[in-house]
């Protein structure tokens, strides 16, 4: 047993070291990027802390301040469960290092155990934006003792493990039964989509079930009781949340210690079950994933003529990008699926809301002519946000990897290649715009003119986001990777692009809500501002494209 744990820990260290990659960014750029990140984090962290503090004051007035811990930990658990499914799919099955690991003297439990720990380390970054403010604000506001903060460290380190275990079990079961047949790439994509849809459905189902369990009269009675009587009533899917909350609330007594020990025992038991299940079914789902099916068909002269039709250079480069995004499972799931499913996430509050008439009120708001400009500005900000999260433009060069020397040798102008990558990012993003437009027409009954204006402004936003992403990737492409996962999921360019786009989207939405401009003024404002910014970025990219390509060394 000791040798198995030692080998798993050794593999974990190797995977963590390999996942970090080598950065060729100059020190001065590292300092600048670090400064910009800190500059962004300060107001974001301040606003989150202020919001959490206000929520604590409101709950404390009802004697339900402990509910703050439950909301924070439950939200973090849902976040880990949903995004963990997508991340573990890539990490367990789509990484190219799987083929090498299968030939080494590691058991299935050691492989998935090490990869699980790697995923857990990255999850700490995500949940820190939720858990750290909640734990910190509650500790200060409630004037908790030293044991509370010691237990908080244990809770923070352990809390993401259980929803990540749930995500891992879902992933292994799905891939166990989809890994059949010879179309492995298609089955990878199908398995990934099934896992994502399952996570969304589970989220909606649990929220509705929880809402139905909380009868309004019972809820009102519990609120009046005070003394944190609502604890454990809102997070049925994650029972460990209640255990950790009680451990923190009673941290000054022996009861709190028992709850924390129980919480840790549940986490370790869940991890043990996860490893045990992995030993039984992981290899059956992963073996053969690298195989592919060859189509054996007669290539007639007519087919050859169709395939050899002369097309423009731009057309060929553009469709090459689209085909790579569609055919590579990691790129498809991370860059395309989330762009398609993202608009549907906006509907989750309507499906899970328990208040009657909330949808009708939303439709009335959408039909208010005085709010059209505001809604159009909000919609533009949402398009910007989705465009910044796909990572298509900000990894356009990074996805080439060591093969980028081929792009440098081709007799094709560098700017043509770059514009083709920008166009592919905008093209994929426009499908999300069409889905949002369809939702607006069917559910909220927006007018046809409003939808046309929405798509027009959305196109400007997509181009702005694409040029900004390609500019970031031109300066610091991540070409040193051995699997597609690292090119898109462990690429700092994606985070930096998303961070900058979130700033622009947030400012646009904020000004639209505060000013509430008419449609005419909003179109003129967004069209001029973002149109000029896009034109500026185009000139910038044109100026540095040749120099950036010539500096690239592989």
pLDDT tens for residues 457-504? 999 999 999 999 999 998 888 887 767 777 887 788 888 888 889 889
If DSSP codes are grouped into helix, strand and coil, which group holds residue 232? coil
Cα 322 to chain centroid, rounded: 21
How far is CA 334 from each of CA 4, 216, 328, 488, rounded to the nearest angstrom? Answer: 33, 40, 10, 8
**Same structural domain for residues 327 and 281?**
no
**By the 8 A CB rule, do 87 and 122 touch?**
yes
Answer yes or no: is 295 within a domain: no
195 pLDDT more than 70: no
**By the 8 A CB rule, do 55 and 133 touch?**
no
Terminal CA-CA length for the chain? 42
**Same structural domain for residues 252 and 331?**
no
Strand locations in 360-412, DSSP E?
Answer: none
**Same structural domain for residues 279 and 368?**
no
pLDDT recorded at residue 541: 92
pLDDT recorded at residue 462: 94
Answer yes or no: is 277 within a domain: yes
Tokens 């080439």 sit on residue: 400
**Same structural domain for residues 421 and 545?**
yes
Residues making up the chain, counted from first to last: 554
218 pLDDT more than 60: no
Lowest mean pLDDT among 146-155, 345-354, 524-533: 345-354
pLDDT recorded at residue 464: 95
**Same structural domain for residues 352 and 278?**
no
Buried b (16+ CB within 10 A) or exposed e, 526-538: beeebeebbeebb
**Same structural domain for residues 281 and 328?**
no
Structure tokens at 142: 């409630």
Structure tokens at 503: 């700033």
DSSP string, 236-261: SS-HHHHHHHHHHHTTTSHHHHHHHH
DSSP string, 421-435: HHHHHHHHHHHHHHH
Q: 256, 266, 88: which is closest to 170 by C-alpha? A: 88
Instruction: Give 428-460 pLDDT, tens digit per residue.
Output: 999 989 998 888 888 878 888 889 999 999 999
**By the 8 A CB rule, do 222 and 230 touch?**
yes
Instruction: Give 304-331 pLDDT, tens digit per residue.
Output: 666 666 778 888 889 989 988 888 877 8
Give CB contacts under 8 A, 24+ apart, made by 318-321: 318/420, 318/423, 318/424, 318/427, 320/420, 321/396, 321/420, 321/421, 321/424
Dihedral of CA atoms 373, 378, 379, 385 in degrees, nearest 10, equals 150
The CA-based angle 274-233-79, given to 5 degrees, is 45
533 pLDDT more than 90: yes
Cα 212 to chain centroid, rounded: 29
**Same structural domain for residues 245 and 338?**
no
If DSSP codes are grouped into helix, strand and coil, which group holds residue 348? helix
Q: For every residue of 139-157, which 3-state class applies, written as one string?
A: HHHCCCCHHHHHHHHHHHH
Mean pLDDT over each residue of the chain, to the nearest integer: 79
Lowest mean pLDDT among 254-263, 348-357, 368-377: 348-357
Burial of 153 (0-12, 13-18, 19+ CB in 10 A): exposed
Lowest mean pLDDT among 150-154, 379-383, 387-391: 387-391
How far is CA 329 from each of CA 96, 100, 293, 326, 347, rounded to the nearest angstrom? Answer: 12, 19, 15, 7, 26
Q: Does residue 99 or residue 538 have the better pLDDT?
A: 538
**By the 8 A CB rule, do 70 and 229 touch?**
no
Answer yes or no: is 10 within a domain: no
- 165-179, 202-216, 349-363, 516-530 — most confident range: 516-530
Lowest mean pLDDT among 41-55, 206-220, 268-282, 411-425: 206-220
Answer yes or no: is 115 within a domain: yes
**Same structural domain for residues 189 and 318?**
no
**By the 8 A CB rule, do 129 and 239 touch?**
no
Dihedral over Cα of 469, 471, 473, 475: its sign:
negative
Question: Is the pTM above the cut of 0.75?
Answer: no
How far is CA 172 from each of CA 81, 225, 272, rounded to the nearest angstrom? Answer: 14, 44, 15
**Same structural domain for residues 208 and 328?**
no
pLDDT recorded at residue 217: 46
Q: 245, 267, 286 — which closes off a domain?
A: 286
**Same structural domain for residues 377 and 500?**
yes
pLDDT recorded at residue 446: 85
Say how many C-beta atoms besides its own lie within 10 A of residue 399's C-beta. Answer: 27
Answer yes or no: is 364 within a domain: yes
How far is CA 116 from each of CA 93, 100, 276, 371, 403, rounded to the nearest angstrom? Answer: 12, 18, 13, 47, 30
DSSP state of 312: -
**Same structural domain for residues 262 and 344?**
no
Report the pLDDT averaged over residues 363-378.
79
pLDDT recorded at residue 225: 47
Q: How many domains does the chain have?
A: 2
Instruction: Give 41-68 pLDDT, tens digit per residue.
Output: 676 677 778 878 887 887 777 677 777 8
Residues near 382 by beta carbon (within 8 Å), at least 6 away in sequence: 346, 436, 505, 509
Say how many C-beta atoms besides its own lie within 10 A of residue 70's C-beta. Answer: 24
Distance in angstroms (rounded) separating the CA atoms of residues 473 and 132: 31
For helices 184-213 and 161-178, give the axis angle rounded to 10 degrees: 130
357: left (phi over 0), alpha (psi -120 to 50) or beta: left
Answer yes or no: is 96 within a domain: yes
Answer yes or no: is 273 within a domain: yes
Structure tokens at 119: 């995923």
**Is residue 117 within a helix (H) or strand (E), and if so which, with residue range?**
helix 108-141
153 pLDDT more than 50: yes
pLDDT recorded at residue 214: 45
Buried b (16+ CB within 10 A) or exposed e, 177-214: ebbeeeebbebbbebbbbbbeebbebbeebbeebeeee
Say how many C-beta atoms besides its own lie within 10 A of residue 290's C-beta. Answer: 11
**Same structural domain for residues 216 and 259?**
yes
287: left (phi over 0), alpha (psi -120 to 50) or beta: beta
State which residues form the domain around 380.
314-551
DSSP state of 289: T
pLDDT recorded at residue 26: 59
Answer yes or no: is 73 within a domain: yes
181: left (phi over 0), alpha (psi -120 to 50) or beta: left
Q: 303, 336, 310: which is closest to 322 by C-alpha? A: 336
pLDDT recorded at residue 428: 92
Alpha helices in 287-312 (DSSP H): 301-307
Q: 200, 207, 199: which is closest to 354 by C-alpha? A: 207
pLDDT confidence bin for 536, thresholds 50/70/90: very high
**By the 8 A CB rule, do 419 and 441 touch?**
no
């Amino acid at each position: 047993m000791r040798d198995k744990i030692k080998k798993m820990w050794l593999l974990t260290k190797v995977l963590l070291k390999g996942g970090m990659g080598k950065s060729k960014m100059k020190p001065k750029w590292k300092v600048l990027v670090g400064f910009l990140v800190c500059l962004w984090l300060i107001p974001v962290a301040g606003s989150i802390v202020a919001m959490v503090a206000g929520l604590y004051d409101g709950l404390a007035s009802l004697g339900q301040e402990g509910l703050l811990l439950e909301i924070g930990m439950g939200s973090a658990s849902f976040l880990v469960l949903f995004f963990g499914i997508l991340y573990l799919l890539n990490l367990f099955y789509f990484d190219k290092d799987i083929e090498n690991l299968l030939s080494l003297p590691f058991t299935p439990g050691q492989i998935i155990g090490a990869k699980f720990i790697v995923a857990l380390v990255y999850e700490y970054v995500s949940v820190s934006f939720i858990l750290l403010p909640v734990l910190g604000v509650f500790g200060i506001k409630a004037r908790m003792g030293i044991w509370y903060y010691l237990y908080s460290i244990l809770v923070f380190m352990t809390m993401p493990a259980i929803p990540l275990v749930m995500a891992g079990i879902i992933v292994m079961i799905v891939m166990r039964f989809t890994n059949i047949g010879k179309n492995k790439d298609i089955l990878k994509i199908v398995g990934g989509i099934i896992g994502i849809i399952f996570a969304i459905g589970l989220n909606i189902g649990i929220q509705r079930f929880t809402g139905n369990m909380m009868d309004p009269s019972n809820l009102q009675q519990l609120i009046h009781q005070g003394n944190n009587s609502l604890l454990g009533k809102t997070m049925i899917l994650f029972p460990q949340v209640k255990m950790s909350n009680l451990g923190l609330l009673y941290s000054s007594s022996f009861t709190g210690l028992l709850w924390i020990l129980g919480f840790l025992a549940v986490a370790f038991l869940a991890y043990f079950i996860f490893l045990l299940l992995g030993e039984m079914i992981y290899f059956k789902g992963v073996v053969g994933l690298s195989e592919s099916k060859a189509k054996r068909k007669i290539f007639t002269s007519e087919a050859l003529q169709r395939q050899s039709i002369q097309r423009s250079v731009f057309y060929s480069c553009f469709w090459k990008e689209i085909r790579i995004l569609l055919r590579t499972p990691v790129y498809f799931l991370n860059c395309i699926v989330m762009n398609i499913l993202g608009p549907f996430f906006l509907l989750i509050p309507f499906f899970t809301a328990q208040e009657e008439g909330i949808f009708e009120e939303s439709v009335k708001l959408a039909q208010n002519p005085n709010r059209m400009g505001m809604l159009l500005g909000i919609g533009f900000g949402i398009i910007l946000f989705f465009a910044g999260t796909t990572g298509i433009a900000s990894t356009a060069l990074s996805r080439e990897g060591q093969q980028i020397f081929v792009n440098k040798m081709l007799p094709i102008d560098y700017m043509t290649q770059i514009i083709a990558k920008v166009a592919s990012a905008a093209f994929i993003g426009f499908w999300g715009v069409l889905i949002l437009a369809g939702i607006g027409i069917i559910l909220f009954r927006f007018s046809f003119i409003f939808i046309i204006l929405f798509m027009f402004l959305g196109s400007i936003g997509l181009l702005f986001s694409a040029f900004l992403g390609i500019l970031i990737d031109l300066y610091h492409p991540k070409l040193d990777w051995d699997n597609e996962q690292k090119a898109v999921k462990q690429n700092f360019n994606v985070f930096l692009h998303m961070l900058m786009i979130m700033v622009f989207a947030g400012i646009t939405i904020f000004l639209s809500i505060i000013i509430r401009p008419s449609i005419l003024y909003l179109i003129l404002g967004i069209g001029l501002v973002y149109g000029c910014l896009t034109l500026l970025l185009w000139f910038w990219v044109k100026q540095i494209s040749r120099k950036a390509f010539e500096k690239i060394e592989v």
